[in-house]
């Protein structure tokens, strides 16, 4: 046992503070697998945890970070042995359980999945929770038997992590993707991922009517609030929208009209506690369906000591696509 470098969030009389410190391995939480973390990533939730702008962190001190890829050091879990390459997403890590922004993590083996065949640790973290959530959203739409022949698909928060991967996945499956963004300077980037049309987020951020002109058959929304209300009001008969984020707010100022007059379905996408069978299905699809060159085009690599600043940047809308954090 010894110490390792970690980002540590603490809380005192002056509020929350964050810094890189030496962390005692003896203070890791309970678990049957200890992992040497090599890579992590940056999600919107991580930005909230690092800055304290929302009560994501629920125990102190906390090592934030909800995703990691790494190598098993010790294990008493029957599914994993020393040397296995593994991935973790969610399960409360970085919130209630010490998370990914440290050189080591001890977790329950039931939370881990093997590193998917065909993906490197860097690629797995370029996907991360954002990409895994996007895949869960696409799976929900597919299981509702929605297909490109039904009409276009809209993606909100398009230049973010979830949006970027959702565009790439939908476009590769043949959908005509309409990308909504507040960053018009990212139009070329979004079209490079497969978006056929770019619309300004202001078109969807005004107070929503109960119903509006039908524009799309499906969608992936990571914004919530007025944006989701407008997306629902513009969804075609028997269409479906997968909701997985709240960057615009937790409220949903809509009516029952889209649901009872057009038969629209709203899918809630939870990535944190999703069962292992669904996780494996999503990750297996990501390993085969997400073009590696497209993934690389949306990914930025940063060193460990830049993650705190990056957490502020993602909340300020300065982060495009996906960010991989090199830990080990």
Domain check: are 144 and 258 in the same one? yes
Q: Kindly state whether residue 40 falls inside one of the protein's structural domains.
A: yes
Handedness of CA 50, 168, 217, 207 (dihedral sign): positive
pLDDT of residue 301: 97
What is the span of the domain harbouring residue 239? 129-268
Q: Is there a domain that residue 274 lies in? A: no
* Same domain as 138, residue 91: no
Task: Say how many domains are in the chain.
Answer: 2
So what's the pLDDT on residue 314? 94
Does 56 map to a domain? yes
| pLDDT given for residue 15 in this prediction | 86
Same domain? For 261 and 239 the reply is yes
Bridge partners, residue 37, by sequence: 70
DSSP helix/strand/coil, 124: helix
The predicted pLDDT at position 13 comes to 85
Tokens found for residue 189 = 């980037």
Burial level of 187, CB count in 10 A (0-12/13-18/19+)?
Answer: middle
- C-alpha to C-alpha distance for 137 and 268, rounded to whole angstroms: 8
Same domain, 139 and 264: yes
- Contact indicator for 109, 79 with CB cutoff of 8 Å: yes
Domain with 162 in it: what CATH number? 3.40.50.720
Strand 235-243 relative to strand 216-221, pairing: parallel
- Beta-carbon neighbour count of residue 203 at 10 Å? 12
83 shares a domain with 34:
yes
Q: Give a yes or no: residue 318 inside a domain.
A: yes
- Terminal C-alpha separation, the chain: 17
Model's pTM, two decimal places? Answer: 0.93
Same domain, residue pair 47 and 163: no
Burial class of residue 28 in the structure, from the number of CB atoms within 10 Å of its CB (0-12 exposed, 13-18 middle, 19+ buried): buried
Per-residue pLDDT of the chain (328 residues; tens, 9 = 90+): 699 999 999 998 888 999 999 999 999 999 999 999 999 999 999 999 999 998 999 999 999 999 999 999 999 999 999 999 999 999 999 999 999 999 999 999 999 999 999 999 999 999 999 999 999 999 999 999 999 999 999 999 999 999 999 999 999 999 999 999 999 999 999 999 999 999 999 999 999 999 999 999 999 999 999 999 999 999 999 999 999 999 999 999 999 999 999 999 999 999 999 999 999 999 999 999 999 999 999 999 999 999 999 999 999 989 999 999 999 7
65 and 147 co-located in one domain: no
pLDDT at 1: 66
- Show the tokens assigned to 197: 């049309």
For residues 133 and 87, membership in a common domain is answered with no
Whether 140 and 222 share a structural domain: yes
Q: Is the separation of the CB atoms in 320 and 159 below 8 Å? A: yes
CATH code assigned at 88: 3.90.180.10
Let me know if residue 279 belongs to a domain: no
Nearest by Cα to 182 from 158, 151, 217, 164: 158
Co-location of 197 and 235 in the same domain:
yes
Output the CA torsion sign for 84, 89, 91, 94: positive
Q: From residue 172, give the alpha-carbon distance in Å to each of 166, 280, 288.
A: 10, 20, 11
Q: Is residue 120 part of a domain?
A: no
Residue 284 included in any domain: no
Regarding whether 147 and 99 lie in a shared domain, the answer is no
Question: 291 lies in a domain?
Answer: no
Same domain, 143 and 263: yes
């Amino acid at each position: 046992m010894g110490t390792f470098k970690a980002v540590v969030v603490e809380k005192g009389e002056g509020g929350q503070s964050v810094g890189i410190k030496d962390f005692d391995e003896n203070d890791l939480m309970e678990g049957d697998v200890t992992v040497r973390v090599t890579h992590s990533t940056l999600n919107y939730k991580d930005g909230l945890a690092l800055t304290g702008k929302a009560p994501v962190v629920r125990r102190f001190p906390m090592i934030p970070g909800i995703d990691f890829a790494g190598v098993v050091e010790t294990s008493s879990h029957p599914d994993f042995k020393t040397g296995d390459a593994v991935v973790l997403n969610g399960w409360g890590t970085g919130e209630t359980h010490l998370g990914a922004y440290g050189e080591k993590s001890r977790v329950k083996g039931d939370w881990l999945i093997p590193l998917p065949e065909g993906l490197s640790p860097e690629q797995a973290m370029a996907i991360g929770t954002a990409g895994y959530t996007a895949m869960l959203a696409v799976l929900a739409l597919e299981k509702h038997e929605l297909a490109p022949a039904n009409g276009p698909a809209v993606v909100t928060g398009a230049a973010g992590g979830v949006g970027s991967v959702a565009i790439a996945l939908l476009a590769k499956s043949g959908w005509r993707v309409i990308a909504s963004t507040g960053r018009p300077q990212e139009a070329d980037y979004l079209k490079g991922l497969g978006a056929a049309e770019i619309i300004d987020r202001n078109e969807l951020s005004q107070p929503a009517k109960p119903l509006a002109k039908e524009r799309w058959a499906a969608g992936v929304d990571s914004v919530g609030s007025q944006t989701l209300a407008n997306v629902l009001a513009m969804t075609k008969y028997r269409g479906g929208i997968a909701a997985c984020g709240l960057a615009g707010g937790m409220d949903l100022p809509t009516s029952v009209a889209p649901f009872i007059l057009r038969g629209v379905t709203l899918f809630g996408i939870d990535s944190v506690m999703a069962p292992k069978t669904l996780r494996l299905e999503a990750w297996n699809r990501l390993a085969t369906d997400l073009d590696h060159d497209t993934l690389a085009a949306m990914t930025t690599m940063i060193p460990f000591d830049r993650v705190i600043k990056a957490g502020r940047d993602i909340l300020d809308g300065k982060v495009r696509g996906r960010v991989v954090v090199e830990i080990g």
